[in-house]
Structure 1
Amino acid sequence: MLDLDDLPLIDQHVHIFNRESDQPTFDPLATFSLGGDWIDFLDSGGHAPTELEKKQLVINQRQTMIYHEAMHAVARYLGCEPTREAILDARAKRVPEYQTYVRGMYRDIKLESNIVDLGNPKNVSLEEFESLTGVPAYGLFRIEPLIGELWDQQDSLAGLLTAFEDRIRKLVAADPKIISLKTVIAYRTGLDIQPLTAQDVSRSMDTLKRNPDSSGLFARIHVPRSTRDDVKRVRDHILWRALELSVELGLPFQIHTGMGDQDLDIKTARPGLLAAVLRDEKLRHAKIILLHGAYPFYEEGAYLANVFPNVYLDLSEFNPMIGPGVSRVIATILELAPFTKVVYSSDAFGSPELQWIAGKKGRAALDSCLGGAVDAGNLSPDAARTAARLILADNVRLIYGI
């Protein structure tokens, strides 16, 4: 083993914690979920979820490998028995000094800065998060909420694009903490993004504006079937312009790929669908970070990071959510992706415990796969530590200039 515990860590994609996470009754283990236990999913079609269904969703979440793995890891950190009840009791005694508790977890994983998604939850305060965690927090700007807002204010494509571009330019100029753009178009119309003429997109926009469902249309995740093709054309066109703008502004661009919650159509979240974007003569100069290791399409993501100079692959969400499989996936990614093109992230949300365990597991997984390469005679110890340092922090510094 290489013992990488001394190396600093930068989290290049994270969300702020739940407001209730500083309360003695807060259950951090409930945040170790991709959403399969969300009761709202069953509250549909005129069906009111039964108590039995609600109970079963909780049971399902607590009978996953990551839940048990997290329970044991958090219990070791808190010095208590590995049961939910013991963890809640031990945590309740610490959270009156919540800032101390959070900063202790950060020190334990050597976490030195965060890049925070400003789009979920809303009204994120980077200053508040910095005050809580004690480390610098930078912002990444998610474009979909802005598109949803401007759609109802603009009647023409030219007006929509101008307003969109003006807002982003002003936001970036006013706040040097915003260092990246992000899209979740995979959740909306998918990653098969195509270049389109303004004339074609204008026709689609005119059609949508005449539709009775036009108001609030672009604030929705799922749209009426009759509008989907036109909505896709408009979204593709705006994203294409946003990517061009990221080149002009020198901002990296994070793209959701692969796994997500129930709102995602996984078959349209494959990173290979971005081929038209990645081969475009202008957009090949955008710094594109494929989020979540593109899991379960991580081999595809690693291939893209290998062959396209401007494509990077992050290691979030599947770490820690797939439990003991994290090492296997990272080892597979590093079979093909250059060490200089892989970046650590957690995509943690809800609780500091989730971000902490992602840091522990990510570092241990790198130690395992890089250490294994050393033991096999395929990598020197110095080269392995250099690779780990790049992935854990230095690549992020270079990409974002922090």
Structure 2
Amino acid sequence: MPDLLPCVESLRLVDHHCHGVVRRDLDRNEFESMLTEADAPPAGVTLFDSQIGFAVRRWCAPVLDLPAHTRAEDYLARRADLGADEVNRRFLQAAGASALCLDTGFGAGSVLPPAEMGALAGAKAYEIVRLEQVAEQVAVSGTGAEGFADAFRTRLDGLTTGAVGLKSIAAYRVGLALPGERPGDPEVTAAAGRWLASIEKGAPPRLADVTLQSFLVWCGVDRGLPIQFHVGYGDSDVDLHRCDPLLLTDLLRALAPTGTPVMLLHNYPYHRQAGYLAQVFPDVYVDVGLAIHNVGNRARALVAETLELAPFGKFLFSSDAFGLAELYHLGSLLFRHGLSDFLRSGLDDGAWTEHDADRIAHLVGVENAHRVYRLADR
């Protein structure tokens, strides 16, 4: 693999969507369960025999003072010898991030909080608030259906005082075909009544109602913060055919006059569709986080395909790392390789100059996130 272009290698990336890592040691089964979004493999099958497994052995082993391509058993033994704290420190620092925008709505209590993540990474840490988590907190607070809308708005206002963005996992709950119209309070009250009644009957407080999902998004618009949407690839709880970002078209048309930045996360295998949306809608942005480390050696193709249409000023870096600190390192390194190869190809073809390549690298790796999330104001 060619050396990185200096303008890419030197980037102090802004990871605009990521999560905490676990603070404890892991056995092999636990490690493999966090390696991808897959369910546990059947007996006789290991996730080390996959793109991400080979990427760990190739790119993560040297960070632990092991030779590249070391055996999985030796890798896990070395990881255990060093201990979780040292492993986390090494990989978070190897990622070379200047800022982390952390979604705190998943795994709270089992992973490191933003302040500790920032300290380990040597980076500034910012919070992304997950809309569904806030709604579910309100649902179990004793608020009735009539007061749900106001209680949610009040709680969201309080929780986002220091946050830089919001996150919707509507893709996991109802799919992305959200309506373009803002629901009225009577509709929200009726939907909340149905949801709260189901909770009273013993159902878990898991929000999966189109009207309420739409309400959460519009409340996010009113907060004036960028809104992230999970798109595409995820675990077996997601119906992938309902996660095509093109299903958001009606909502994107309705949001366009508000100027709300819409951040399409992950996007694989719909990354070309996401690139199209970023081109034609003024406030739509894309990344290929999560997919990058899962596709391993194919990360270069993924970056290039996304950038066929997505403007360079609307493409961002994210790792979507969760649980394993290795995913921070892999997300960063494989993204750098993909971006460097893409820019080098353009240089070789005369599509742009070295000055252009430097500028594009900084836009994608740093400046776009600073602009959209207004990090300079924080």
The question of 1:295 aligning with 2:268 is answered yes
> Match for residue 178 of structure 2?
193
> Match for residue 210 of structure 2?
232
**Aligned residue runs from structure 1 range 262-277, under 5 A:** 262-277=236-251
CA-CA distance at 1:151 after TM superposition: 2.4
> Match for residue 385 of structure 1?
358
The question of 1:80 aligning with 2:66 is answered yes
The counterpart of 1:119, out of the listed 102, 105, 109, is: 105
Q: Distance in 2 between matches of 1:164 and 1:62?
A: 43
Structure 1 runs not aligned, ≥5 long: 39-52, 224-230
* Counterpart contact for 2:134–2:156, Cα < 8 Å: no
CA-CA distance at 1:105 after TM superposition: 3.2
Q: Distance in 1 between matches of 2:351 and 2:188?
A: 52
**Aligned residue runs from structure 1 range 347-386, under 5 A:** 347-386=320-359
Q: Distance in 2 between matches of 1:92 and 1:110?
A: 24
SS at 2:343's partner residue? helix
Q: Distance in 2 between matches of 1:116 and 1:9?
A: 14
Q: Could you tell me which amino acid in structure 2 is paired with residue 154 of structure 1?
A: T
SS at 2:76's partner residue? helix
Pair 1:215–1:255, CA change in 2 (3 A): farther
Pair 1:126–1:281, CA change in 2 (3 A): closer
SS at 1:295's partner residue? coil
> Match for residue 160 of structure 1?
148
CA-CA distance at 1:347 after TM superposition: 0.4
CA-CA distance at 1:63 after TM superposition: 2.1
* Counterpart contact for 1:75–1:83, Cα < 8 Å: no
CA-CA distance at 1:18 after TM superposition: 1.3
The counterpart of 1:255, out of the listed 217, 223, 229, is: 229
CA-CA distance at 1:305 after TM superposition: 0.6
Q: Distance in 2 between matches of 1:352 and 1:29?
A: 13
> Match for residue 331 of structure 1?
304
Q: Distance in 2 between matches of 1:65 and 1:282?
A: 38
SS at 2:9's partner residue? coil
> Match for residue 243 of structure 1?
220
SS at 1:322's partner residue? helix
Q: Distance in 2 between matches of 1:24 and 1:220?
A: 30
Q: Which is higher, the Rg of structure 1 or of structure 2?
A: 1
Structure 2 runs not aligned, ≥5 long: none
The question of 1:130 aligning with 2:118 is answered yes
Q: Distance in 1 between matches of 2:53 and 2:286?
A: 26
CA-CA distance at 1:92 after TM superposition: 3.4
* Counterpart contact for 1:258–1:270, Cα < 8 Å: yes
CA-CA distance at 1:365 after TM superposition: 0.6
Q: Distance in 2 between matches of 1:266 and 1:25?
A: 28
TM-score, length basis structure 2? 0.88
CA-CA distance at 1:315 after TM superposition: 2.2
Q: Could you tell me which amino acid in structure 1 is paired with residue 116 of structure 2?
A: E
CA-CA distance at 1:16 after TM superposition: 0.7
Q: Distance in 1 between matches of 2:202 and 2:211?
A: 17
Pair 1:357–1:240, CA change in 2 (3 A): closer
CA-CA distance at 1:281 after TM superposition: 5.5
* Counterpart contact for 2:105–2:129, Cα < 8 Å: yes
Percent pairwise identity: 26
Q: Distance in 2 between matches of 1:24 and 1:64?
A: 19
- 1:292-344 deviation digits (Å, cap 9, x = unpaired): 1x111111100111111111102201111012221111101111111110000
CA-CA distance at 1:5 after TM superposition: 1.1
CA-CA distance at 1:142 after TM superposition: 0.4
SS at 2:358's partner residue? helix
Q: Could you tell me which amino acid in structure 1 is paired with residue 334 of structure 2?
A: K
SS at 1:345's partner residue? coil
Pair 1:110–1:265, CA change in 2 (3 A): same
* Counterpart contact for 2:145–2:190, Cα < 8 Å: no
> Match for residue 14 of structure 1?
18
SS at 1:289's partner residue? strand
Pair 1:29–1:262, CA change in 2 (3 A): closer
> Match for residue 5 of structure 1?
9
The counterpart of 1:66, out of the listed 37, 49, 52, is: 52
> Match for residue 108 of structure 1?
94
CA-CA distance at 1:283 after TM superposition: 5.8
Is the deviation greater in 105-114 or in 259-268?
105-114
- 1:227-250 deviation digits (Å, cap 9, x = unpaired): xxxx322332x2243232232xxx
- Number of residue pairs the alignment of both structures matches: 364
SS at 2:298's partner residue? helix
Pair 1:234–1:108, CA change in 2 (3 A): closer
* Counterpart contact for 2:21–2:88, Cα < 8 Å: no
Q: Distance in 1 between matches of 2:55 and 2:152?
A: 44
Pair 1:151–1:327, CA change in 2 (3 A): same
